[in-house]
Structure 1
């Protein structure tokens, strides 16, 4: 999700028009089954629901022990951006994915269903790579609350189906095992939304490090912001969208060796959640 965050550099401030990143199947096919880290080790780990059964929210992994960090990339495309893609705008970033593979960096891609529909071969390739995992960033990339950086808003009675529709799009693209993790468009949520999405069984995933890569052209500034913010267990939010985050691939090439030199090990979000859920 391309986000506008008030406390970071101006390069991360977006206009609503540039906020970017199939019919739904039966809910049992599209919805990930609720899981826990201890109940079934063959399933991806999730967090225990909050008080009142609210959707759990994950921000970062344990701050002690291994120096691990998860790079996450939002593959953004809103439901109404088809004409822009048809006109030649690129919402994908195959060079970034290639660089992550070359550097052998595990990563989690939070993908919108609309992105998977536009780039099914890329979605399938990412989903089949054991170094990557695909998680849910909604189908439409519309906001789940009001006043969310100018994003259109999903109606309350369509929030669950929007999440499920994204999973349906992943399956249609050939993604066999999308993860039961969800990232809110714009990062915007409230208690009522967490209650509404509880039936989906997802763990909501936020972040503790904003890269500032949205519309940034200075890759050094992006790398510096990440390197200054990372702590053990951090979740870094970046983007997999060429048109709206053109400096990300170059920034990654600077970030990865620097963090490795500091003793950090790159992991997927599922690994951080598993560590948090088991207290490791």
Structure 2
């Protein structure tokens, strides 16, 4: 069932201060600003009633123990001065740990992050262990009252997403996927309508890691382990400044979930397993468990 009510999910709204790591893309269409076509078209959900952008939250619960770890790169359009002053909106050690542990992952990247870290964006975009998807250009909210984030006007929403795809391509991401994550996880019918026609599937989650601004890695890891079910999508971040415990969380969670029989997959595999059907009803996380 496509979520058309406002979904203000806790796992992504770090507010104007948060930043993490991800990337983006759209299927085969070539209009200016749209995602680059990939050699093989990734699976997407069918549009909802009225051609609304479809929303994906988790994969099937009955097709085995699979789980997708996703990481957001939430650098906002106005955080350049902070990066220039030495604040780290990237987390190379986390990416290195994922590679060492051989964990596939989906990275939702803002266009501004790709501009700030083009070499890292290009490396992720060319590594088959990862897939890169769109997290907007600006990381400004697509609804009002979204954890204090600045907002994007309705008539600029599509442009913001297309600008992110352009920034990803310029940074060297060859095939950004047709998946889009709303900044802050905040969306409503107006936002879904504004993005209709781009060809993206909006990707939310059903497990909030709580890694944003967290200082207790054990507590975050336990929250993930308590929440994961077959087909789950977990939202985390790869920003040293805003989510400093995430690498340690991954080092704890990955072996434990593998011991429980889980297999790590990318979001595209979970979407493919739904056979074009949305994965389930909306699940709102508590607003106190913010993320980016």
Q: Distance in 1 between matches of 2:223 and 2:184?
A: 19
1:171 to 157, 169, 172: 169
Q: Which residue of 2 aligns with 1:24?
A: none
RMSD across aligned positions (CA): 2.2
TM-score scaled to structure 1, two decimals? Answer: 0.89
**Within 5 Å, which residues of 2 pair with 1:136-215?**
136-215=134-213
Q: State TM-score, norm by structure 2.
A: 0.86
SS at 2:214 equivalent: coil
Runs of 5+ consecutive residues of structure 1 not aligned to the other structure: 22-26, 36-40
Which residue number in structure 1 is paired with residue 35 of structure 2? 32
Per-residue CA distance 1:157-209 (angstroms, 9 max, x = gap): 11000000000000000100000000000000001111110111100000000
Q: Decide whether the 8 Å contact of 1:78 with 1:141 is kept in 2.
A: yes
- Distance in 1, matches of 2:265 and 2:13, equals 28
Matching of residues 78-117 of structure 1 within 5 Å: 78-117=76-115
Instruction: Give the helix-richer structure, 1 or 2.
Output: 1
State the SS of the aligned residue for 2:151: coil
1:70-109 per-residue CA deviation (whole Å, 9 max, x = no partner) reads 0000011000000000000000000000000000000000
Note the 1:1-280 alignment, pairs <5 A. 5=10, 16-21=15-20, 28-32=31-35, 42-277=40-275
Distance in 1 between the 2:123 and 2:37 partners? 26
In 1: Cα distance, 2:137 partner to 2:275 partner:
27
Alpha-carbon separation, structure 2, partners of 1:170 and 1:120: 8
Cα distance, 1:59 vs structure 2: 0.2
Unaligned 5+ residue runs, structure 2? Answer: 1-7, 21-29, 280-292
Q: Is the Cα–Cα contact under 8 Å of residues 239 and 245 in structure 1 kept in the other structure?
A: yes
Equivalent-residue separation in structure 2 for 1:144 and 1:13 (angstroms): 11
Q: 2:63, 2:170 → 1: CA distance?
A: 40
- The answer for the alignment partner of 1:38 in structure 2 is none
Query: Could you tell me how far 1:66 is from its partner in structure 2?
Result: 1.4
Residues 68, 105 of structure 2: 8 Å contact kept:
yes
**Paired residues of 1:211 and 1:225 also in contact (CA < 8 A):** yes
Q: CA deviation at 1:18?
A: 1.7
**Cα contact 1:19–1:151 (8 A) shared by 2:** no
The alignment of Structure 1 onto Structure 2 pairs a total of residues equal to: 263
1:218 deviates by 1.1
Q: 1:4 touches 1:149 (CA, 8 Å); kept in 2?
A: no
